[in-house]
Amino acid sequence: MKAIKMLIKMEAEVLKPLMLKVGFHNDDDIWWKSTADFSLVLTLQKYWWSSEDKVDFRINLGLMIPPIQKNSSERPEITELAVCVSQDCYLPEELQFHKFKNSIGYCIKTGDNFEQFIDMIKRDFEDYMIPQLIQQKSLEDCVDFYKDVPFWNQRLDRFIQEHKFKVMNNLAS
């Protein structure tokens, strides 16, 4: 099977059912689940040099402040996220390098064993990424989760403060 077909099949058979099951909404390659204060976000980012026979991609996870509105006609952009980390922030160190995983994310090639690839993706999503992502139910949970992640912990604090300031200004108006 061509690598690009494996990626498309993985999205349809693994990513979509798992994300819908935990209440995420979707617009193409971006998934989100909103609370009153923020949105949890997951994107699948395919690298520009990918081809039909070799696809390099990564999973971006993070959050957006203020939250994405369900009825919004504008698709949220990854550059607007308060936090945007790769799957490695959610995976144990011993799982960060293997047959389908390297320093930039995942890599699949035409002829790779599709079942092995799917088993690894399911494990990464079901055992690590989704459980940790959906445990972030409040801003305090998010701050706690990212507290030891350099750069993003400070960026998150700044987004929270800016959002509180905007809310207070709106109330004063």
The total number of structural domains that make up the chain: 1
| Cα Rg, the chain, nearest whole Å | 17
Quick: pLDDT tens for 65-110: 988 876 666 666 777 889 999 999 999 988 888 889 888 899 999 9
Q: Which residues pair with 30 in a beta bridge?
A: 27, 43
pLDDT over threshold 60, residue 173: no
Q: How far apart are CA 163 and CA 35, in angstroms?
A: 14
Residue in the block written with tokens 């990854």 = 78
Cβ(3)–Cβ(54) under 8 Å? yes
Task: Give residue 98's identity as a one-letter amino acid code.
Answer: H
For residue 134, give the amino acid letter.
Answer: I
Residue 106: its H or E element? strand 105-109
Provide the pLDDT for residue 165.
80
> Residue 130's pLDDT is what?
96
Q: Check residue 74 and give its pLDDT.
A: 65
| pLDDT tens, position by position, 106-159 | 999 999 999 999 999 999 999 999 999 999 999 999 999 999 999 999 999 999
pLDDT at residue 34 above 60? yes
